[in-house]
């Protein structure tokens, strides 16, 4: 194998990357139901402060004929060319907590070398945990919360959040290989598969991005602004509900999916990590108190206790 470090170039201007950060990853490619990863990447890059730490070589990793980049034609001349990017950035969440963010296209070539390159970067920056998300279409209704399947070696997340635990073969994502290699090194890693209603898989479903952010927050403690996405989600679902109401055949489909979903969930009671032992949501004061304790521990360099709500 060629030197994995030859796949990327470090930004010499970024020399102050803290050690022990969480790494968050989402790559667009084979499957992105509801445009979950696309929305996640665009939303974070638009709303959080970030600087590129490393940039991967697209000419080596991308099949341009399969995923042609866009070039802009302005009446009589070519005005702009935007090459695909795959990069690692140093970012901060809504309250200033730093993290690393790997985003861009999923490599078409050299997966083994790419996974080794990512692992080199993880070792270089002494990454604490690695969390990644992707989304697949499933026969589930849009009228129920988006579910997730959790993979990796963080059993506390799998036990608390994974509603579907199949034994099956699936088409791989490049980050599956990264996760597999990290597991072999006992590096804390979690992959969240969002289960998106199959009839919305080809749309830009805002709730999918919200669920991706919630999953990342559950794994890392990072906090992201989601109000705009949630508002878009409410508007989107209002339009979908209107279409369902006016189409009896679609209404029957959704009703059947609801029955199957509810029947399945009755046998898989997962307590939300945001509810107490009685299944009640905490009050705003309780959430604020827990958040203060969490931030105080982070400022003092301590490992914060898990939320006890």
Q: Is residue 138 part of a domain?
A: yes
For residue 259, being part of any structural domain is answered with: no
For residues 300 and 188, what is the distance between their CA atoms, to the nearest angstrom? 23
Q: Note the pLDDT tens digit of each residue in 149-168.
A: 999 999 999 999 998 888 88
Residue 277 in any domain: the answer is no
Residue 275 has pLDDT above 50, yes or no: no
Please give the residue that has the higher pLDDT: either 297 or 163.
163
Q: What confidence tier does 281 reach under pLDDT thresholds 50, 70, 90?
A: very low
Q: Is the pLDDT of residue 57 over 90?
A: yes
- The reply to whether 172 falls in a domain is yes
Whether 227 maps to a domain, the answer reads: yes
The alpha carbon of 305 is separated from its chain's Cα centroid by a whole number of angstroms, namely 23
Task: Provide the pLDDT for residue 304.
Answer: 46
pLDDT at 283 over 60: no
Residue pLDDT, tens place only, 36-45: 999 999 999 9
- The confidence score (pLDDT) of residue 138 equals 93
* CA dist., res. 35 & res. 31, Å (int): 9
Which residue range is the domain that position 177 belongs to? 4-244
* pLDDT of the residue at 296: 58
pLDDT at 228: 93
Q: What angle, 0 to 180 degrees and rounded to 10, lies between the N-to-C axes of helices 248-266 and 227-245? A: 120
The mean pLDDT of the chain is 88
Which residue intervals of the chain are DSSP H helices? 36-47, 58-61, 111-124, 155-161, 174-184, 206-220, 227-245, 248-266, 284-299
Residue 265: inside a domain: no
> Looking at the 3D structure of the chain, how many domains does it have?
1
CATH code at 233?
3.40.50.10900
Tell me if residue 159 falls in helix, strand or coil: helix
Ranges 223-227, 234-238, 267-271, 289-293: which has the least confidence: 289-293
Tell me the per-residue pLDDT of 71-94, one tens digit each, with 9 for 90 and over: 999 999 999 998 999 999 999 999
What average pLDDT does range 98-105 have in this prediction?
Answer: 97
Question: What pLDDT score was predicted for residue 14?
Answer: 77
Quick check: is 62 in a domain? yes
Note whether residue 15 is domain-resident.
yes
């Amino acid at each position: 194998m060629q030197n994995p470090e030859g796949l990327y170039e470090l930004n010499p201007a970024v020399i102050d990357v803290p050690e022990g950060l969480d790494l968050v990853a989402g790559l667009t490619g084979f499957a992105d139901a509801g445009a979950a990863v696309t929305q996640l990447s665009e939303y974070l890059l638009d709303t959080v402060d970030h600087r590129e730490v490393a940039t991967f070589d697209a000419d080596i990793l991308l099949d341009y004929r399969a995923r042609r980049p866009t070039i802009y034609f302005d009446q009589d001349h070519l005005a702009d060319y935007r090459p695909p990017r795959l990069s690692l950035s140093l970012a901060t969440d809504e309250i200033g907590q730093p993290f690393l963010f790997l985003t861009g296209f999923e490599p078409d070539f050299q997966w083994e070398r790419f996974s080794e390159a990512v692992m080199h970067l993880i070792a270089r920056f002494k990454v604490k945990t690695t969390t990644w998300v992707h989304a697949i279409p499933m026969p589930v209704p849009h009228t129920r919360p988006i579910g997730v399947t959790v993979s990796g070696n963080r059993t506390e997340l799998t036990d608390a959040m994974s509603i579907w635990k199949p034994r099956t073969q699936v088409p791989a994502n490049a980050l599956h290989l990264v996760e597999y290699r990290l597991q072999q090194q006992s590096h804390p890693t979690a992959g969240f598969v969002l289960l998106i209603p199959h009839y919305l898989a080809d749309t830009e479903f805002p709730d999918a991005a919200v669920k991706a952010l919630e999953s990342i927050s559950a794994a890392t403690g990072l906090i992201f602004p989601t109000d705009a996405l949630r508002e878009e989600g409410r508007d989107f679902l209002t339009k979908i509900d209107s279409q369902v109401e006016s189409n009896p055949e679609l209404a029957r489909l959704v009703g059947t999916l609801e029955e199957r979903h509810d029947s399945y969930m009755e046998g898989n009671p997962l307590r939300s990590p945001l509810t107490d032992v009685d299944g009640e949501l905490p009050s705003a004061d309780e959430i604020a108190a827990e958040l203060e304790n969490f931030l105080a521990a982070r400022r003092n360099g301590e490992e914060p206790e898990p939320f006890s709500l």
